[in-house]
Amino acid sequence: MESLNNDRQETDSSKMCASEHFRAHTLQWRWRRTEGLRFFQKELVEVLKVPGQIPHTNIHSFKERLHPEDAGRAAAALVRIGKDQQRIEFTARFNLLENGYCPFRVSGMITERGSDQQVEEIVGIAQLQKDGLEAGELRRRNERLQRMISSTSAGYWDWNLQTDEEWWSPAMYGLLGYAPNEIRIDYNIWINELVIHEDREHLQAAIGDCLKGQSAYCAEFRMKKKNGTIEWFESRGRIFQDQESGHRHFTGSCINIEAHIQTRVIRERENFLLRETSRIGQIGVWELNLADEIVTWSKEVYNIHGVPQETPIDFEKAVSFYLEEDLSVVSDAVQRAAATGEPFDFEARIRTLDDRVRWVRATGEPIKNIQGLVDRLRGVFQDITRHKEYELNILKANRDLATHNERLTNFSHIVSHNLRTHSGNFEMILRLIEDAEDGEVAGYIDILNKISNSLSETISRLNEITDIQNIDELKLEPLNLAEMVQRAENALLGDIGKADARIETDFGPCESIIANRSYLQSAFQNLLSNAIKYKHPERTPHIRITADASQNHCIIKFEDNGSGIDLKTHGDKIFGLYKVFHRNPDAKGVGLFMTRTQIEAMNGSIEVESEPGEGSIFTIKLPRKS
Amino acid sequence: MNCVLCLIENDPIAIFGLKKMLEKTNYVKQLEVYEDGEQALHKLKPHLIENTPRTPDVIFLDLNMPIMDGWEFIEAYTAIDRPQNAKKILLYVVTSSVMQRDRDRACELSAVTGYIVKPVTKDDLKHVFEEDLQELWKNQ
C-alpha cells in the first residue's frame, strides 16, 4: 500500500510537471476521499522560499488558510465539482504565514471515480499569481520601505568589492548637499576628498576590520559638504554576498549626526559644569517628602554636614544640625513653604558631625504631585562659610576702619589745635617784643622758653599716642592679674600712702589675662592713679578691683568711692584727648585717652559708670583669646 | 574808655599776652579773668541778671577749657534769663582753632558777635573796641 501510494505520487507528479518555469510558480496538490488534501511541500518551499511549513493536511486546515473573503468562492467550487463539473477552478488568497496572504489560481480535475461514480481523487495545481503579489503586496512593501528610508533621512551606499564600483542613493548625495550623481564617487574620492583628514585613519581601520570579517562596521567621522562646512556623520554597514553574481558587496547606510554631536558636546559641557560647580561651590541638592518627612541629600550635602553618604536622614535629623540661635529661621522658612508654598532662601549655621561650625545657604521651593498638591520641598544647599567669614571680616574691618578714621581725624584736629596754641603764643610774644621797651625783653624771653618747653612736651605726648596706634603686631602674653595690680600699686606707693587709700582685689575665676604687659600696666596705673587723684574731699579712697570671665572676654572693674564725674554733661568726652573735668593741677587730659587707646589696641574696650559725689566704675573688657 | 572786659581763658601765656597788649592801649578800664567756663558762669551770673559795675561790655571766650568748655558756656550763658534793660554784651570766641567747622558753628549762635583766631592782634582789638563797641554804644 505504501509503495503503491508512492508510485502513484510519482506518476501524478510527472503528469503535472510542465516546464521549469511552470514548476517554479506552482505547487501540486491531490485530494483523495480516503486521505484528504495533500500538498507537495518541496515545491512550495522552493517557489515561495517560505521557511515555514504547509503540512500534509486535511481539507479543514486548508480552509483555515483561506482568506475569509475567498472562503465562500472556494467552498462553492468544491461543491460543484462532485456534482456537475469535471474540473474545478477558482482564485483565492492563502495565508503563507510569514509572507502573508498570497493569491493563488487553483485548478484541478477529477482523476478517479468509484464504482458508484463517487469522486475518489482530484489532482490539481495551485499557481501563485505572481503579478498579483508583485503589483500588490510587493508594491506596498516597497512603498513602506521607501517611506521608512525617507523618514530616516539616511543615505545608502553600496560598494562592489569585486568591481570596485560604488553606488550612492540620492539621499546619500543629499546628505552632503549634492544633487544625485553630481559628483563621481569611488572609495578613494570619498576617503581622500570628502572625509576630513583627522578622521581618515580611524575610519580606514574600521572599514578594514569589517572587510576582514572581524566586526560589523560602525563609525563616526566628519565629511566636508558641498558648501564647505564640515559636519559629523555616522555610517554602518556589513558585507553581503550577491546571490546571483556571487560578488561581495560592502553595503550600508549613513546619517548626519551633527545635531546629535552638538547636543552631546553641550551635554558633556553641562555635565562638566554641573559636576565642577557642585564640587567647587560645595553645592548640593536636598528634597523633603512632606508625607513621611524623609529627607534625600545629594553627595555634596552629606559632605557639607560631614555625615557618611547614604546615612538615612529625616526632617528632625536634618534640622538638628543647625545652631540653636539659627533654628527658628530654618523651621519658620520650611513650615511657611509647606503651608503656603512660599519659596525660601536663608543663611544659617550648622554644626557638622565632626563638630565644625559652617555657614550654609539653603533655598527651597514646593514641588507639586500629579494631583497638584504640594507633597515635597526641594532646594539647593551650599556651604558659604568662606564667603560669609569674608563678608563678616569685611564688615568688621569696615567698622574698625571707620572708627579708626574718625579717631585719626579727631586726633589730627587735636594735634593741629595744640600746635596752633603754641605757635599762637610764640607769635603773640614776638609781637610784644617788637613794641617792648628794653627792660621788658628779658621777661619775654623767659616766656618764650616756657612756650618752647610745653611745645616739646605736647609733641612727645602726641608721639606716645601715635606709637600706640601704629603698632601692627602687638605682643600679647598671659599676664597674672594680681601681679599686674601689684606693680601698679608699687609705682604709686607714695600717692597711696599720702591718701591713705585702701585697695581690695577679687579676681575670682580670672587669674590671668592675655594682654600686652606695658599697656596693661600703664592702664592699671592710670586708673588707680585717677581713683586716688580724684578722691572725694571728705572720704579716704577705697578702691575695689575685681575680675570676671564671660565666654569670650575677661572683665576687669575698677570701682572707687571718689568724687565721681557728671556723665550727663561729660559722658561722651571723658576718654577724649585734652579733656579735663577737674580743676586739679595734675590733670592733663591725656591719661584716659591713652588708656582707651591702649585697651583698644589689644582689641578690648573700656567703659565708665559714675555718679557725682558717689564714685566711679571703670570696666575693661579684653578678649580671652588673642 | 570806660569798658569792662571779661576774659575766659585757661592758658596763662595767652592771658599774659593779652594783658600786656591791653596795657599799651586804654580800651579797658577793668579786666576780669576766669580760667574755665564753669567758674566764669558761676561768678558772672549775678552781674548778668543785674547791671553792676562788674557787668562786662565785652567777653573774650576760649573754646578749649577744662570742666566747661566754650561751647557749653555759650549754651548756659544764652539760657540765662536777662532783664529787658540789661546791658548789651559783645561776645567773641577767641580760639586757636582754624577749623571752618568751629567758625561756622560759632557764627550760627546769636549770642556770638565775632570769631577771633589766636593770637589776638592790635587790629583785632581796634576792631572790637573802636568799631563794634562804639557802634553798640551809639545805638543805646
Interface with chain B: mutation pick from A409, A418, A421, A449, highest number of B CBs within 10 Å = A421
Q: Is residue A420 part of a domain?
A: yes
Chain A residues close to B64, C-beta within 8 Å: 417, 421, 578
Question: Domain boundary at A262, A293, A319, which?
Answer: A262
Strand, coil or helix: A44: helix
A302 & A255 share domain: no
A367 & A436 share domain: no
CB distance A159 to A50 below 8 Å: no
CATH number, residue A319: 3.30.450.20
Residue A237 has pLDDT above 50, yes or no: yes
Query: CA-CA distance, A86 to A422, in Å (whole number)?
Result: 154
Q: Is A516 or A103 the better-scoring residue by pLDDT? A: A516
| Nearest residue to A565 (alpha-carbon basis) of A530, A617, A532, A612 | A612
A483 & A615 share domain: yes
> Between A and B, how many residue pairs show a Cβ–Cβ distance under 8 A?
62
Q: Looking at A121-125, A268-272, B49-53, which range is the least confident one?
A: A121-125
CATH number, residue A509: 3.30.565.10
A130 & A22 share domain: yes
CB distance B114 to B92 below 8 Å: yes
> For residue A309, what pLDDT band results from cuts at 50, 70 and 90?
very high
Averaged pLDDT of chain B: 89
A344 & A407 share domain: no
CATH number, residue B59: 3.40.50.2300
Q: pLDDT tens-digit profile of A185-222?
A: 888 889 999 999 999 999 999 999 998 887 889 999 99
Helices (H), A285-384: 299-305, 315-319, 327-340
A245 & A349 share domain: no
A354 & A416 share domain: no
A377 & A491 share domain: no
Query: CA-CA distance, A579 to A527, in Å (whole number)?
Result: 16
A101 & A171 share domain: no
Residue with cell 580800651: B27
| Portion 51-110 of B in contact with A at CB < 8 A | 64, 66-67, 72, 96-99
CB distance B93 to B113 below 8 Å: no
Q: Cell numbers at residue A18, please? A: 510542465
Q: Is residue A290 part of a domain?
A: yes
**Letter for the amino acid at B17?**
G
Q: Looking at A42-46, A222-226, A278-282, A317-321, which range is the least confident one?
A: A42-46
> For residue A400, what pLDDT band results from cuts at 50, 70 and 90?
confident
Q: Is residue A275 part of a domain?
A: no
Strand, coil or helix: A228: coil
Instruction: Please give the pLDDT value at position A131.
Output: 60
Count CB atoms within 10 A of the CB of residue A263.
12
Q: Is residue A273 part of a domain?
A: no
Q: Are the beta carbons of A580 and B66 separated by less than 8 Å?
A: yes
Instruction: Please give the pLDDT value at position A52.
Output: 44
The tally of domains found in chain B comes to: 1
Instruction: Please give the pLDDT value at position B45.
Output: 92
A442 & A320 share domain: no
B21 touches chain A (CB under 8 A): yes
Strand, coil or helix: A399: helix
Instruction: Please give the pLDDT value at position A39.
Output: 67
Residue A318 has pLDDT above 90, yes or no: yes
Domain span at residue B98 reads 3-139
Averaged pLDDT of chain A: 82
* A446-454 average pLDDT score: 88
Question: Domain boundary at A102, A136, A170, which?
Answer: A136
Q: Looking at A77-81, A172-176, A431-435, A489-493, which range is the least confident one?
A: A77-81
Q: Is residue A482 part of a domain?
A: yes
Backbone angles phi and psi of A494, in degrees to 5: -60, -50
The tally of domains found in chain A comes to: 5
CB neighbour class for A153 (10 Å; exposed up to 12, middle 13-18, buried from 19)? exposed
A118 & A195 share domain: no
Q: Looking at A38-47, A508-517, A612-621, which range is the least confident one?
A: A38-47
Question: Domain boundary at A383, A406, A430, which?
Answer: A383
Q: Is residue A274 part of a domain?
A: no
Q: Which residues pair with A156 in a beta bridge?
A: A253
A39 & A56 share domain: yes
Q: pLDDT tens-digit profile of A362-372?
A: 999 998 888 88
| Nearest residue to A158 (alpha-carbon basis) of A79, A24, A66, A250 | A250
Domain span at residue A287 reads 282-383
Residue A411 has pLDDT above 80, yes or no: no
Residue with cell 604687659: A517
